[in-house]
Amino acid sequence: MRMNFCPKCGHKLDIGLVALRERPICNPANGGCGFIDFGRYTLGTGGLVVQTGPDGVRKALLIQRNEEPNRGGWTIPGGFVEFDETADAAVVREVEEETGLKTRNLGLAGYRNRADPGDNSSYIVFLLEITGGELKTEPDPEIAQVGFFTLEEMQGMGRLAPLSYELAAAALEDRIQLFQPHTVRGLNGRPPFTLYI
């Protein structure tokens, strides 16, 4: 069920395009506060992509956000899981949209759950490998910059999200123990699904 009025400021919500979907928004152009109705529970996904250069130096893929929340901050690429997709499909889609790189899922690397007042959010992180595409070089409305960074370079980034740093550092230092994807037959005619164990 969609909201009709903003729970923060009371303005009537408009329908606007956010992250390639129509969503109820409290439109700032009409005097609203910018609230976006993603629902009471959110599921986000992030993609850890590590690349070893010809010099043998390992680097992790990061994006710099060009929109709120955290405009100007750095993070691993990713985004919200839509109602009609799985988390492992969403991360591949989001990484390609944000960076231009096509990837393949190697396994589940991490999970974070946070229950803030009014919002319960989960964040699933997958280790991905590059299978094609080209790294974006021009900014767009969502992403300001994309690049691969060493652990030392990340330590000097003032606006790198702590969660992204911990995950990227663990990947660069080979400290991640992956849960592997396994296809399981669905019950009572339902489609198969992926179980990470």
Locus of tokens 């992180």: 125
13 lies in the same domain as 77: no
- Asked if the structure places residue 193 within a domain, the reply is no
pTM of the model: 0.79
Q: How far apart are CA 145 and CA 63, in angstroms?
A: 6
Q: How many domains does the chain have?
A: 2
28 lies in the same domain as 50: no
50 lies in the same domain as 2: no
Locus of tokens 């992204």: 164
50 lies in the same domain as 111: yes
35 lies in the same domain as 49: no
Identity of the residue numbered 179:
F
Confidence label for 133 from pLDDT (cuts 50, 70 and 90): very high
68 lies in the same domain as 152: yes
84 lies in the same domain as 110: yes
Identity of the residue numbered 61:
L
74 lies in the same domain as 136: yes
**Domain end marker among 39, 54, 69:** 39
**HEC secondary structure over 78-107:** EEECCCCCCHHHHHHHHHHHHHCEEEEEEE
Domain containing residue 13: 1-39
Q: How far apart are CA 181 and CA 196, in angstroms?
A: 5
168 lies in the same domain as 93: yes
pLDDT digits 0-9 by tens, 60-112: 999 999 998 899 999 999 999 998 999 999 999 999 999 999 999 999 999 99
Q: Which residues contact 169 (CB under 8 A, 6 or more apart)?
A: 151, 154, 175
Q: Quick one: tokens of 53?
A: 């250069």
25 lies in the same domain as 86: no
pLDDT digits 0-9 by tens, 35-74: 998 767 889 999 999 999 999 999 999 999 999 889 999 9
Tell me how crowded residue 189 is: count the other CB atoms within 10 A of its CB: 5
